[in-house]
Structure 1
Amino acid sequence: MNLKRLVFTSIILLSALQLQAQKKISGPLIHEYGETFTVPQPDLEVNTEAEYKVVFDISQAPEDPAALNPYFNTVARFLNMHGYTKVDKAQLKPVLVVHGSAAYGLLKHKFYKEKFGVDNPNLDLLNKLHALDIPVILCGQTAGARDISVEKRWGKTQVELSAMTALIHYQNLDYALISF
């Protein structure tokens, strides 16, 4: 009976220690966004010599217009996770291709507030991504369909003929696709 209790207690303690090992951290490349969890001993080791070219296909917005788009935040998580593993920033090459309802997240505060009644919660993060030379591409078809003119959108937005065109372009340049 005591042996069973000892084994059970040991399993519980080991599980608790393992859970404690994964703590939430912010940065190092984008502070205030993209918090990640530490992963002390991943089974698949991160190749710190590789180039991480990825195009994020972002088409959805949160239901609450006052909330940060979690898919924009995922790009910050991608950068921070790999930054902590000592992958050099120059080897991290994410691109955001934005369409669908997510496109409203590219509106300037004035126009976002007209539409939703609150300031755009995404602009600070978008500015931080821009400071790291991360392209943010808006689908031209979505811009037309949702009346997101050049005057209304965040000034660093790039526009492509369509999201499909941009996604094909980057995949032809060997970017991996991550789609939401």
Structure 2
Amino acid sequence: MSMDRRKSCAAIAAMLLLGMTGQALGKSDFEYGPVFNSFGKHAHVQGVSFPENQTFKVAFDVANAAEPGEVNRKFESLARFINMHVANGVKHDNLSLALVVHGSATEEMLKSAHFKQRTGQTNGSETLLNALIAQGVEVIVCGQSAAAHGVENTALIDGIKMDLSAMTAHARLAQKGYSTNPF
């Protein structure tokens, strides 16, 4: 076999292998767990590892609400962050995570009865927010957005804190060493 023919065969074999690998990692390969079994689907990524004592201090910022009755995908990103890191060896206790909510997403901080009164729908994010709080995520709502949307402390889902503003919350978290997730 000539050198050119061998190179062509090798190139075709490489493309086929890459194509099969791409197909092997389709949407069906995303899974829940190990922390959340209904939120935060993620895929395994070969070759990624973390030191034994890897820590993360990350704040997630969410300003846009989901459609009434639906789960806010940005909140679900935080569940995915937890699932994928714990699944890949990061100790759950080494995750310090916060969710800072402002803008139209502020109303998703409401208990179901209050949310339904405003929108006529159930709060699709309440179950996830309760699960995040139960896993130690600090959920903070912007006091300025709460005032603008007529949201009072007593109407908030249990465990959600209110700060003066989202800017204040991020500044306080930064002082504690948190980075802000850009996604």
Q: TM-score when scaled to structure 2?
A: 0.88
The aligned residue for residue 60 of structure 1 is 64
What per-residue deviation string (whole Å, max 9, x for no partner) do you get for residues 97-126 of structure 1?
111111111111112112222100111111
In 2, Cα distance between equivalents of 1:65 and 1:5: 54
Amino acid of the residue matched to residue 15 of structure 2? I
- The 5-angstrom pairing of residues 146-157 of structure 1 reads 146-157=149-160
8 Å CA contact 2:153–2:162 kept in 1: the answer is: no
Percent of aligned positions that are identical:
31
Please identify which structure carries the higher helix content: 2
Secondary structure in structure 2 of the residue aligned to 1:156: coil
* Alpha-carbon distance, 1:13 to partner: 3.3
8 Å CA contact 1:21–1:40 kept in 2: the answer is: no
**Shift in alpha-carbon separation, 1:48–1:69, aligned structure 2, 3 A:** farther
* Alpha-carbon distance, 1:10 to partner: 4.6
Structure 1 residue runs of 5 or longer lacking an equivalent are: none
- The 5-angstrom pairing of residues 65-84 of structure 1 reads 65-84=68-87
* Alpha-carbon distance, 1:164 to partner: 0.7
Secondary structure in structure 2 of the residue aligned to 1:103: helix
- The 5-angstrom pairing of residues 20-169 of structure 1 reads 20-21=24-25, 23-42=29-48, 45-62=49-66, 64-169=67-172
Structure 2 residue runs of 5 or longer lacking an equivalent are: none
Q: Note if 1:173 corresponds to 2:180.
A: no
**Cα RMSD (Å) of the superposition?**
2.0
